[in-house]
Amino acid sequence: MKISIQPIQAQHNNKICEIIKSVGAEYGAVGDGFGPSDPEVEAMSDFYNAQNNSQYFVVMVNEQIVGGAGIAAFNDSKQVCELRKLFLLSTTRGLGLGKKLTQTCLDYAKDSGYSECYLDTLSNMKAAIALYEKMGFEHLDKPLQGTIHGGCDIWMLKSL
């Protein structure tokens, strides 16, 4: 099995959009207030490549896209970034890809000068929450001011 993680390119947009929406639906993350409904999902490379200090990474297994995750400034902050849209196809979960993607994103965030990384997710995404906890994210009592994902019920922050 050949695994690679690389920055998103335009030719990856359709496949990652499909993955984000299908995995989001699997967990009930559908409609306003959930990441899969954000406008950027339709053309992830356009959004991430146009923003400073942001990047979306796709993970490929045997040259097929199976998921992705990204980093972008949280509300235009220079200090706080957000881990965004970490989604993996169910057939590839348990292979350590989420950990590799998260570490790639955190390394990028640190190299970009961010001092903290925020995320929001759903309480039914148990494996993702366990991963974030293992990677040093700490639970918050409420979302950071300005989050656009009002449907999420888990909020976490990590010092970089």
Check which CATH number belongs to the domain holding 109 and give it.
3.40.630.30
- Look at residue 38 in the predicted model and tell me its pLDDT: 76
How would you write the pLDDT of the chain (160 residues) with one tens digit per residue? 899 999 999 999 999 999 999 988 888 777 776 677 778 888 999 999 888 899 999 999 999 999 999 999 999 999 999 999 999 999 998 899 999 999 999 999 999 999 999 999 999 989 999 999 999 999 999 999 988 667 789 999 999 9
Instruction: For 11-64, give the DSSP string.
Output: GGHHHHHHHHHHHHHHTT--STTSGGGSGGGGGHHHHHHHSTT-EEEEEEETTE
Cα 46-48-54 angle, rounded to 5 deg: 165
Give the three-state DSSP class for 90: helix
How many CB atoms neighbour CB 138 within 10 A?
A: 11
Q: How many domains does the chain have?
A: 1
- Look at residue 33 in the predicted model and tell me its pLDDT: 66
Model pTM above 0.75: yes
Euclidean distance between CA atoms 102 and 71, whole angstroms: 9
Half-sphere exposure of residue 48, counting CA atoms within 13 Å on the CB side? 27
Euclidean distance between CA atoms 159 and 58, whole angstroms: 24
Half-sphere exposure of residue 95, counting CA atoms within 13 Å on the CB side? 17
Domain encompassing residue 130: 3-159
Euclidean distance between CA atoms 152 and 34, whole angstroms: 7
- Look at residue 26 in the predicted model and tell me its pLDDT: 80
